[in-house]
């Protein structure tokens, strides 16, 4: 409880706004119209996760449930970090671009490239080094997490595109699209998780996310095309190149493990793969002009070039 209290106090020190209790009916109606879809999306996600937990715990026991969630913490860590950064920047930016579809589309493509250049190498490395993470980092008590981690990492890579689309729908005033995606994904998980867990054990819980994510991404493609203008133009080739580099760099990790064993080997393998991936991505960026460096710099350095989006008629929104 102390952490959130300190964060709240510091936030008002940094941005000294003093809230007052005042009911504005017009604003309340707009917030409720938007917020009901956000609440419903969160509710659907919670129900889907609850059913997944129930399937694992009832069929396999609490120990297997622990293995699943330890693997999930590792597999989804890259996306959680990106969500904190990208979500903070992207949502207000898209909200300012509601009447400028062309620029919103450009921002989406750039964020997709920059996020992929960061997430894919990390996810590929998790897949390659999962057995070593299981053995060296977690220890014998967590034996069995590597296979689960690998499947969930693949699921995270497939779902990255959908995570990037969420601030688009919210910022452009289409929160119902987020609810539709969550409904499809949670429904598929709910349908397949129990038979998957029964036949494949705790690994089946991870496998259940693959058809769920694929189903929601197929719907996501149609929904994105309705709000943006040719959102995928130029993306497949770039994402394929980033994926190939990520896989190639991650493949170095297990080779290093064979030479340098133990925890030191895990650290050296991860560092080597990351350095190789970064170098290859930089070379690719220079040769094909992918815009990786500029996008990552703007994304994580909060470059004004990305944040100062032009409004219609060449006007900029005045600072608050």
Q: Which tens digits make up the pLDDT trace of 189-245? A: 999 999 999 999 999 999 999 999 999 999 999 999 889 988 888 888 888 888 999
Query: Does 282 map to a domain?
Result: no
| More confident site: 315 or 53 | 53
What does 50-85 look like in DSSP terms, one character per residue?
HHHHHHHHHHH-HHHHHHHHHHHHHHTHHHHHHHHH
pLDDT of residue 205: 92
Q: What average pLDDT score do residues 136-158 get?
A: 88
Measure the CA angle with vertex 312, ends 309 and 317; round to 5°: 50
Tell me the C-alpha distance between 169 and 270, whole Å.
35
Query: How many of the other CB atoms lie within 10 Å of CB of 26?
Result: 7
The answer to whether residue 229 is domain-embedded is: yes
- DSSP assignment of 235-264: HHHHHHHHHHHHHHHHTHHHHHHHHS-HHH
Residue 180 lies in a domain: yes
Q: How far apart are CA 266 and CA 194, in angstroms?
A: 35
Residues recorded for the chain: 320
Evaluate if residue 180 carries a pLDDT over 90: yes
Q: What is the average pLDDT value for the chain, to the nearest integer?
A: 84
Which residue is associated with the tokens 């190149």?
241
Q: Give residue 296's pLDDT.
A: 65
Does any domain span residue 252?
Answer: no
**Alpha-carbon span 232 to 245, nearest angstrom:** 20
Phi (first) and psi of residue 290, to 5 degrees: -75, -20
Dihedral over Cα of 207, 237, 167, 37: its sign? negative
Evaluate if residue 70 carries a pLDDT over 70. yes
Mean pLDDT of 151-175: 90
- SS in 3 state form for 78-107? HHHHHHHHHHHHHHHHHHHCCCCHHHHHHH
The answer to the question of residue 277 being in a domain is no
Give the lowest-confidence range in 86-100, 157-171, 180-194. Answer: 86-100
Average pLDDT over residues 259-272: 88
Q: Is residue 224 part of a domain?
A: yes
Residue 313 lies in a domain: no
The total number of structural domains that make up the chain: 1
pLDDT at 306: 46
Distance CA 207, CA 200 (A): 9
Residue 289: exposure state from Cβ atoms within 10 A (0-12, 13-18, ≥19): exposed
Using 50, 70 and 90 to split pLDDT, how confident is the model at 312? very low
User: pLDDT over 90 for what percent of the chain?
Assistant: 33
CB 102 within 8 A of CB 247: no
Look up the domain containing 150 and give its range.
28-233
Residue corresponding to tokens 């004004």: 304
- Between CA 75 and CA 38 the distance in angstroms is 25
Looking at residue 113, what is its pLDDT? 85
**DSSP character for 148?**
H
Of the listed ranges 132-141, 202-211, 290-299, the least confidently predicted one is 290-299
Statement: the pTM of the whole predicted model exceeds 0.85: no
The share of the chain scoring above pLDDT 70, in percent, equals: 90
**In the numeric block, which tokens belong to residue 60?**
């396999």
Long-range contacts of 24-27 (CB under 8 A, 24+ apart): none
- Helix, strand, coil percentages for the chain (3-state, nearest 5): 85, 0, 15
Q: Is residue 170 part of a domain?
A: yes
CA distance 39 to 42: 5
């Amino acid at each position: 409880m102390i952490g959130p209290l300190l964060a709240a106090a510091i936030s008002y020190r940094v941005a000294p706004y003093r809230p007052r209790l005042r009911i504005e009916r017009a604003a309340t109606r707009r917030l409720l119209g938007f917020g009901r879809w956000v609440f419903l999306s969160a509710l659907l996600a919670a129900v889907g996760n609850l059913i997944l937990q129930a399937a694992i715990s009832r069929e396999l026991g609490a120990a297997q449930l622990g293995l699943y969630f330890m693997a999930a913490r590792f597999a989804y860590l890259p996306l959680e970090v990106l969500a904190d950064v990208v979500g903070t920047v992207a949502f207000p930016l898209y909200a300012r671009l509601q009447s400028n579809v062309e620029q919103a589309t450009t921002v989406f493509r750039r964020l997709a490239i920059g996020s992929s250049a960061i997430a894919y190498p990390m996810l590929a490395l998790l897949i390659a080094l999962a057995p070593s993470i299981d053995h060296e980092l977690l220890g014998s008590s967590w034996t069995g997490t590597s296979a689960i981690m690998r499947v969930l990492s693949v699921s995270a890579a497939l779902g990255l595109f959908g995570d990037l689309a969420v601030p688009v729908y919210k910022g452009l005033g289409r929160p119902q699209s987020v609810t539709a995606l969550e409904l499809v994904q949670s429904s598929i998980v709910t349908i397949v998780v129990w038979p998957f867990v029964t036949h494949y054990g705790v690994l089946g819980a991870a496998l259940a996310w693959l058809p769920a994510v694929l189903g929601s991404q197929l719907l996501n493609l149609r929904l994105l095309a309705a709000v943006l203008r040719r959102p995928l133009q130029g993306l497949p080739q770039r994402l394929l190149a980033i994926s190939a580099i990520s896989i190639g760099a991650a493949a170095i990790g297990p080779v290093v493990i064979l030479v340098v064993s133990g925890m030191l080997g895990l650290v050296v393998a991860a560092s080597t793969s990351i350095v190789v991936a970064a170098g290859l991505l930089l070379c690719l960026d220079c040769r094909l002009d992918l815009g990786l460096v500029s996008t990552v710099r703007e994304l994580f350095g909060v470059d004004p070039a990305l944040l100062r989006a032009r409004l219609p008629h060449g006007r900029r929104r005045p600072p608050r």
